[in-house]
Amino acid sequence: MMDTTRPLADRMRPRHIDDFAGQDHLLGPERPLRQALEAGRAHSMVLWGPPGTGKTTLAQMLASLVDAEFLSLSAIMSGVKDIRDAAATGRANREAGRQTVLFVDEVHRFNKSQQDAFLPIIEDGTLVFIGATTENPSFELNNALLSRARVYVLRALEPEAIGRLVDRAMADAVSGLGDRGLVLADEARTALCQLADGDARTALSLLELASDLADSSGEIGLARIQEAAAGGRARFDNRGDAFYDLMSALHKSVRGSAPDGALYWFARMLDGGCDPLYIARRVVRMASEDIGNADPRALQIALDAWQAQERLGSPEGELALAQAITYLASVPKSNAVYMAYNQAMADARKQGSLEVPVHLRNAPTELMKSLGYGHAYRYAHNEPEGYAAGEQYLPDALIDRRYYQPTDRGLEARIAARLARLAEADARARRG
């Protein structure tokens, strides 16, 4: 008999591969992971994906299919001693001719030494290691651990996959809600699949709560789903991949001159709880990195928006940020300053402490003047057109360097034309 005190999401865990919601790229016909599961071949792996995509369920299914003992650890609550205890169980099972699957949830929360503790027991086959993480394994896990485990990427579930899972829960009289005579209205089903935001656990949790709120007719209507989901839940983490992915999408939309895309990702970040001041700082960076001198007003507008956010707070200040973002996305683009800065910094680090040309040195004392400091320096304002044609402003070793290469876009086109004229004047002066 099913224990109805367990949450619906737990009761509805699939027991067969064909019941698994989504992840067809891993578990579809002829896919390597499905073939391994069906053949009863267990191997160490890391399951990477958003919450509610079936990482725990997949690990349990693997253990069941290979008739292995299933051990579970949470990296939040466990330490090296727990790993050693699991290894002892694994060695005892191996002597008895049985495999052991060790599932480690939130494995990215283990530090380096804790991750290293897995290496020998994976290497000698004591345990089949399955780590689950919502964070990019290449950033959060040791290379040594990654080299011993295959990484599988699980995707957020599409609304259609969520819908099939909900339908199964409504129909299942043993594990689900099928014995309660409930009816899920079509519009409520559609809303539920959207509100779940790709998370199967959230979908079933909302359904379970809404079922307890159903009216006397047994219908779960849209109002009950909305009531269950009061407050909403955005799949967003200020330290996680989703955060950086959204920030990347916003920046690249601005760079790509797509104001609509930029606004959407901006809204997503705000809806997910991101600090608007963090976005403001990044917008200032965009103004210099991707627009630069093609439209110098972009930097001032970005700074003004930042100041507006600081002074007004939310939500009033967010409109100023939206204004700045749409402006930056719409104006001509140039990364010439960004590229010039990076090249100059590379030379500064690579070339060492090149001497300042004598004529550019400061000469506040008579000794310095006697050594030639500042001698023959040409004051540009006293020269025709305010430009000392032929003067040298770089060290001798870098005299031919040209870092700043203006584009032909926006104001930078005029800057480029002026610098070209000055370069011609330099060439004439040096020819004599």
**Residue 363 is part of a domain; what is its CATH number?**
1.10.3710
Judgement on whether residues 116 and 169 belong to the same structural domain of the protein: no
Mean pLDDT lowest among 85-94, 324-333, 388-397: 388-397
Q: Is residue 346 included in any domain, yes or no?
A: no
Judgement on whether residues 144 and 168 belong to the same structural domain of the protein: no
Judgement on whether residues 50 and 172 belong to the same structural domain of the protein: no
How many domains, the chain? 4
Q: Is residue 178 included in any domain, yes or no?
A: yes
Radius of gyration in angstroms for the set of CA atoms belonging to the chain, rounded to a whole number: 31
Q: Is residue 268 included in any domain, yes or no?
A: yes
Beta strands 69-74 and 100-105: pairing type? parallel
Judgement on whether residues 148 and 33 belong to the same structural domain of the protein: yes
Judgement on whether residues 31 and 149 belong to the same structural domain of the protein: yes
Note the pLDDT of residue 237.
53
- Whether the model pTM is above 0.75: no
DSSP E strands in 14-107: the ranges are 45-48, 69-74, 100-105
d(C-alpha 412, C-alpha 406), whole Å? 6
C-alpha pair distances (Å), 60 with each of 63, 133, 143, 336, 415: 5, 16, 25, 54, 64
Residue that finishes a domain, picked among 153, 170, 189: 153
Judgement on whether residues 145 and 29 belong to the same structural domain of the protein: yes
Neighbours of 62 (CB within 10 A): 23
Judgement on whether residues 289 and 197 belong to the same structural domain of the protein: no
Q: Is residue 8 included in any domain, yes or no?
A: no
Q: Which long-range contacts link 353-361 to residues 24+ away (Cβ below 8 Å)?
A: 354/395, 354/396, 354/397, 354/398, 355/395, 356/395, 357/392, 357/393, 357/395, 357/396, 359/392, 360/393
Mean pLDDT lowest among 117-131, 216-230, 236-250, 410-424: 236-250
List, in order, residues 6 or more apart from 59 with CB less than 8 Å away: 47, 70, 101, 103, 130, 132
Residue that finishes a domain, picked among 127, 153, 179: 153
Q: Is residue 120 included in any domain, yes or no?
A: yes
pLDDT over threshold 90, residue 384: no
**Residue 171 is part of a domain; what is its CATH number?**
1.10.8.60
β-sheet bridge partners, residue 46: 131, 151
- Containing structural domain, residue 165: 159-228
Note the pLDDT of residue 235.
53
Judgement on whether residues 264 and 386 belong to the same structural domain of the protein: no
Judgement on whether residues 87 and 102 belong to the same structural domain of the protein: yes
pLDDT over threshold 60, residue 379: yes
Residue type for position 248 = S
Judgement on whether residues 210 and 224 belong to the same structural domain of the protein: yes
Write out pLDDT tens, residues 130-151.
999 988 888 889 899 999 999 9
Residue type for position 191 = A
**Residue 110 is part of a domain; what is its CATH number?**
3.40.50.300
Note the pLDDT of residue 1.
47
Judgement on whether residues 304 and 383 belong to the same structural domain of the protein: no
Q: Is residue 72 included in any domain, yes or no?
A: yes
Judgement on whether residues 29 and 70 belong to the same structural domain of the protein: yes
Largest CA distance in the chain: 101
Write out pLDDT tens, residues 409-426.
999 999 999 989 988 888
Instruction: Identify the sign of the CA torsion 342, 345, 349, 354.
Output: positive
Write out pLDDT tens, residues 147-201.
999 999 999 899 999 999 999 999 999 889 998 889 999 999 999 998 888 899 9
Mean pLDDT lowest among 16-20, 124-128, 286-290: 16-20
